[in-house]
Amino acid sequence: MSYSLEQLKRSGVPKLLDGVSDRNGWETKREDIRNRWLACIGGLPEPVPLRYDVLSETDEERHTRIHLRYDTVYGDTVTAFLLMPKERLRDANGKTPAVMALHQTAPEGKAEIATAGGKPNRRYAYELANRGYVVLAPDTIAAGERVYEGASPFQTAPFYERYPAWTAVAKMIADHRQGVDLLVSLDEVAADRIGAIGHSLGGYNAFFLAGIDERIRAVVSSCGFATFAGDPNPNRWGRRDWFSHIPAISDALENGSVPFEWHEIAALAAPTPFFNWSGQADAIFPHAGPIIEAMRDLHGLYDWLGVPERMLSVDGTCGHDFPGPIRAAAYEFLDAWLGEA
- 96-102 and 134-138 beta bridge pairing: parallel
Q: Are 240 and 253 in contact, with CB atoms under 8 Å apart? A: no
Position 262 scores a pLDDT of 98
Domains and CATH numbers, the chain: 3-338 (3.40.50.1820)
Position 94 scores a pLDDT of 86
Position 296 scores a pLDDT of 98
Letter string b/e over residues 92-126, b meaning 16 or more CB atoms within 10 A of that residue's CB: eeebbbbbbbbbbbbebbbbbbbbeebeeebbbbb
Q: How many beta carbons lie within 10 A of that of residue 9, not counting itself?
A: 12
Tens digit of each residue's pLDDT, the chain (341 residues): 789 999 998 899 999 999 999 999 999 999 999 999 999 999 999 999 999 999 999 999 999 999 999 999 999 999 999 999 998 877 778 899 999 999 999 999 999 999 999 999 999 999 999 999 999 999 999 999 999 999 999 999 999 999 999 999 999 999 999 999 999 999 999 999 999 999 999 999 999 999 999 999 999 999 999 999 999 999 999 999 999 999 999 999 999 999 999 999 999 999 999 999 999 999 999 999 999 999 999 999 999 999 999 999 999 999 999 999 999 999 999 999 998 64
52 φ, ψ to 5°? -150, 155
DSSP structure class, residue 136? E
Q: Give one word for 115, left, alpha or beta, with left for phi > 0 and alpha for psi -120 to 50.
A: beta
Peptide bond preceding 271: is omega within 30 degrees of 0, i.e. cis? yes
Position 341 scores a pLDDT of 47
pTM for the predicted model, two decimal places: 0.96
Write the CB contacts of 136 (distance below 8 Å, at least 6 apart in sequence).
80, 81, 82, 83, 98, 99, 100, 101, 179, 182, 183
Give the helix/strand (H/E) hosting 249. Answer: helix 247-254
Rounded to a whole number of angstroms, the distance between the first and last alpha carbons of the chain is 41
Q: Are 230 and 293 in contact, with CB atoms under 8 Å apart? A: no
- C-alpha distances (whole Å) from 107 to each of 103, 113, 154, 168, 295 are 10, 12, 7, 16, 30
